[in-house]
Chains A and B, each alone.
Chain A
Amino acid sequence: MKVNEEMSFWDRLYIPALLKGMFTTLKHIPKKKLTYQYPEDPRSVNERNERYRGIHKLTTTEKDEIKCVACFLCATACPADCITIQAAPSPEGWTTKEGYPREKYPDVFEINMLRCIFCGYCVEACPEDAIRMTGLTLPQYFRERQKEGESLGSSRSDFIFDRDMLVANNDIPQEGLSVEAE
């Protein structure tokens, strides 16, 4: 199908088309504004869905034991190579959900947020539902923390999230990507 047509006499007149264009623009002036201030407006964090890929969190059981069994699957699946895990024998008394004693747990679990590309492959790879994502992006997370009076985000080491920080992310109200939602 051809898209190009010859100009008619009316088109050559130049002024009518300009007036029509001006009219279109004027029609838009009284309309409601679609934009909002990001990130000040609460809508920028609250309209997240259950697939949103924000910063990670390490889930825990009801007894506050980290679910992660240090199997390294997330670190293997990660395209950006940003997860560092060091496995260790799990503390005395930790049990699986069936009640057997646990063997391994991550002594060190670090995510380098400067390398992370937030692809969600770690969540997909986890066989224990131990890692999930929240609905906060990294800048939004730092913003929330800075509101609480912490000075964060000024050095590179602030971007390497250790195990305890990731567990503390369970308190973030905005839910993100998890395998449960399937």
Chain B
Amino acid sequence: MQGGLERATGEKMVLNFGPQHPATHGTLRIVLELDGESILKATPHLGYLHTGFEKLGEHLDYNQFIVVTDRMNYLSPLSNNFGYVLAVEQLLGIEVPKRCQYIRILMAELSRLADHLLWLGTAALDLGAFSVFLYSFREREKLYSIFEKTTGARLTTSYTRVGGVFRDLYDGFETDARDFISNFPKALKETHTLLTKNRIWMDRTKGVGPISADEAINYGLTGPCLRAAGVAHDLRKAEPYSAYDELTFDVPVGSNGDAYDRYLVRMEEMMQSCRLVTQALDNLPDGPVNVEDNKITMPHKSDAYGHIEGLIHHFKIVMDGHGVQPPKGDHYCATESPNGELGFYIVSDGSGTGYRIRIRPPSFLNFQALPHMLEGGMVSDTVAVLGSLNVIAGELDR
């Protein structure tokens, strides 16, 4: 980052970084105005992966929209599922049973691990550390087989439902999860050995793309990027939702706000997620997983098959205009997704489909700080900064 502009010659060159570039991990484009190797101006462009998620929210009913949230941040679909149904439930004014809250936290924390692991692998790969990529994908693979057994799919999980979850945890989940958690710190330590004190990694990331705490707040950064700048803000602590207030964990904070700190914060967050998963497993309460309200969740299948009343409730949940209908009004609910604050603003007109579902994706606001981090630096730092921000194109363009 240092000294880029001093070597400026005054001759400008425009370089297109993306839309197809192996380091963008998705279709996004940055137009770099260069002088030699130093960046004078960086302009991020959006719209290469526009999917119309928000518009779909005006056509699909509240349960159907869950499948859309899978595809937003496709690295941690379970967090998105969780955030969305929490917003609908708060709009409805209901609270799910304790067991369901713990299951959701378990899955959200495991998906945070999966997200950070993929980030770690690809960010290191972009800077040339190939073995880290292999080791983190090995761990991620174990998580994905847990997800597959729990939700029925590896990526498009659609696990939560308004008022509950798709199904209780499978038998043997606890063994699988504990097995993973007990081996995970060892695997993470390998990465620490490979990267944390490695001078090549340090030189590529230390002091690269720095942002001060004030600027980070002004740009609206959230999640690991904000915490790396030294602001100890975590929605799980600041505004505890679900059962997070019953669990203890620390919020890792960096000091320089550069790519290296963002790396360290994410590494420590993974350890904290492990703590949360262990606690949630220890305290996992028994009881029902779904809200016992036939106007919100589907009746048990034996009711639907055996009783006319159950069958009527079953039909009414699915049929348009008879299922989940929050009262007129609007609500904003934010959760701490692996990338930062993931907010859903839902406006309800009292019908079965939302009037407007606005999504506040963390990547979008993290991405807008990119020019600030890049300008004045060197062109080779673009990859390091972009990698450290973990911009997911799927949630960038809704």
Which A residues are within 8 Å of any B CB, using their own CB?
A: 1-4, 7, 11, 14, 17-18, 20-21, 24-25, 28, 34, 49, 51-53, 71, 73, 76-77, 79-80, 117-121, 124-125, 127, 129, 176-177, 179, 182
Verify A1–B68 contact, CB threshold 8 A. Answer: no
Please pick, from A1, A25, A121, A177, the residue contacting B64 in the complex, using a CB distance under 8 A: A121
User: With a CB–CB cut-off of 8 A, which chain B residues contact A76?
Assistant: 318-320
User: With a CB–CB cut-off of 8 A, which chain B residues contact A3?
Assistant: 252-254, 261, 264-265, 267-268
Interface of A: prevailing SS: loop
User: With a CB–CB cut-off of 8 A, which chain A residues contact B314?
Assistant: 127
Which B residues are within 8 Å of any A CB, using their own CB?
A: 60, 63-65, 67-68, 131, 135, 138, 141, 148-153, 156, 158, 166-167, 170, 190, 193-195, 197-200, 202, 250-256, 260-261, 264-265, 267-268, 298, 300-301, 304-305, 311, 314-315, 318-320
**Contacts A34-B138, A51-B152, A127-B305 given; does A18 touch B315 at CB 8 Å:** no
User: With a CB–CB cut-off of 8 A, which chain A residues contact B156?
Assistant: 117-119
Closest residue of chain A to B300, judged by CB? A182
**Contacts A119-B158, A120-B152 given; does A49 touch B68 at CB 8 Å:** no
Instruction: Return B229 CB to nearest CB of chain A, in Å.
Output: 11
Verify A4–B254 contact, CB threshold 8 A. Answer: yes
User: With a CB–CB cut-off of 8 A, which chain B residues contact A127?
Assistant: 304-305, 311, 314-315
Closest residue of chain B to A77, judged by CB? B318
The CA of A2 and the CA of B264, in the complex, are separated in Å by 10
The CA of A72 and the CA of B56, in the complex, are separated in Å by 22
Verify A125–B318 contact, CB threshold 8 A. Answer: yes
The CA of A80 and the CA of B199, in the complex, are separated in Å by 50
User: With a CB–CB cut-off of 8 A, which chain A residues contact B251?
Assistant: 1
- Count A-B pairs with CB separation below 8 Å: 108
Verify A4–B261 contact, CB threshold 8 A. Answer: yes
Verify A120–B167 contact, CB threshold 8 A. Answer: no
Instruction: Return B230 CB to nearest CB of chain A, in Å.
Output: 9
Please pick, from B138, B152, B167, the residue contacting A52 in the complex, using a CB distance under 8 A: B152
Please pick, from B153, B197, B198, B304, the residue contacting A118 in the complex, using a CB distance under 8 A: B153
The CA of A119 and the CA of B39, in the complex, are separated in Å by 45
User: With a CB–CB cut-off of 8 A, which chain B residues contact A73?
Assistant: 315, 318-319
Can you list 16 residue pairs at the A/B interface with Cβ under 8 Å?
A: A2-B254, A3-B253, A3-B267, A4-B255, A4-B260, A4-B264, A24-B194, A49-B148, A51-B152, A73-B319, A76-B319, A77-B64, A79-B65, A79-B67, A120-B158, A179-B301
